[in-house]
Amino acid sequence: MNQPKTSGKKAFRAAILHLLDDPGYELSPMPAEVEYFEDGILLVEDGYVTACGSASEMLEKLPDDCELQVFPDQLIIPGMIDTHIHYPQTDMIAAYGEQLLQWLEIYTFPTEKQFSDPIHAREVAEAFLDELMRNGTTTACVFGTVHPESVDAFFEAAEARNLRMIAGKVMMDRNCPEYLQDTPETGYQQSKALIEKWHGRGRLSYAVTPRFAPTSSPEQLSKAGQLLEEYPDVYLHTHVAENRDEVAWVRELFPASRSYLDVYHQHGLLKPRSVMAHCIHLDEADKQCMAETGAAASFCPTSNLFIGSGLFDLMDVKAHGVRVGMGTDVGAGSSFSLLQTANEAYKVTQLRGNKLSPFQMLYLATLGGAKSLYLDDRIGNFAPGKEADFVVLNPAATPLLARRIQHCQTIAELLFVLIMLGDDRVVAQTRIMGL
Q: Which residues on neighbouring strands pair with residue 235, listed in sequence order?
A: 207
Size of the site for ligand GUN (CB under 6 A): 11
Examine residue 303 and tell whether it contacts ligand GUN (CB under 6 A): yes
Of the listed pieces 100-108, 335-343, 404-412, 420-428, which binds ligand GUN according to CB under 6 A? Answer: 100-108
CA distance 80 to 355: 22
Q: What are phi and psi of 3, to 5 degrees?
A: -70, 145
Which of 140, 204 has the CB closer to Zn ion? 140
Residue type, 327: G
CA distance 68 to 80: 23
Examine residue 329 and tell whether it contacts Zn ion (CB under 5 A): yes
Of the listed pieces 165-173, 186-194, 323-331, 407-415, which binds Zn ion according to CB under 5 A? Answer: 323-331
Residue 131 near residue 340, CB atoms below 8 Å:
no
Which of 14, 104 has the CB closer to Zn ion? 104
Site string (70-89) toward ligand GUN, x via CB under 6 A? ----------------x---
| CA-closest candidate to residue 201, choices 153, 144, 163, 149 | 163
Answer with the entry of Zn ion, ligand GUN, none that 191 interacts with (C-beta below 5 to 8 A by kind). none
Number of other residues whose CB lies within 10 A of the CB of residue 428: 17
Examine residue 211 and tell whether it contacts ligand GUN (CB under 6 A): yes
Which of 277, 339 has the CB closer to Zn ion? 277
Q: How far is the CB of 145 from ligand GUN (least distance, A)?
A: 10
Contacts of 215 (CB under 8 A, 6+ apart): 172, 173, 174, 175, 176
Answer with the entry of Zn ion, ligand GUN, none that 108 interacts with (C-beta below 5 to 8 A by kind). ligand GUN
Which of 86, 320 has the CB closer to Zn ion? 86
Of the listed pieces 59-67, 132-140, 178-186, 277-285, which binds Zn ion according to CB under 5 A? Answer: 277-285
Q: How far is the CB of 399 from ligand GUN (least distance, A)?
A: 35
Sheet architecture: strand order including 9-19:
48-54, 34-45, 9-19, 67-78, 390-393, 427-431
Burial code (b: 16+ CB inside 10 Å, e: under 16) for 278-301 equals bbbbbeeebbebbbebebbbbbbb
CA distance 376 to 370: 5
CA distance 421 to 415: 10
CA distance 138 to 76: 14
67 to 106, contacts with Zn ion by CB under 5 A?
none
Q: Which of 34, 104, 167, 207 binds ligand GUN (CB under 6 A)?
A: 104
238 to 277, contacts with ligand GUN by CB under 6 A?
239, 242
Q: How far is the CB of 246 from ligand GUN (least distance, A)?
A: 7
Answer with the entry of Zn ion, ligand GUN, none that 128 interacts with (C-beta below 5 to 8 A by kind). none
Which of 74, 298 has the CB closer to ligand GUN? 298
Q: Which of 74, 83, 90, 108 binds ligand GUN (CB under 6 A)?
A: 108
Pairing of strands 48-54, 296-299: unpaired
Strands (E) in 149-304, as ranges, are: 164-168, 170-171, 204-210, 235-240, 274-278, 296-299
Examine residue 100 and tell whether it contacts ligand GUN (CB under 6 A): yes
Binding footprint of ligand GUN on the chain (CB under 6 A): 86, 100, 104, 108, 211-212, 239, 242, 303, 329, 332
* Residues binding Zn ion (CB under 5 A): 277, 329
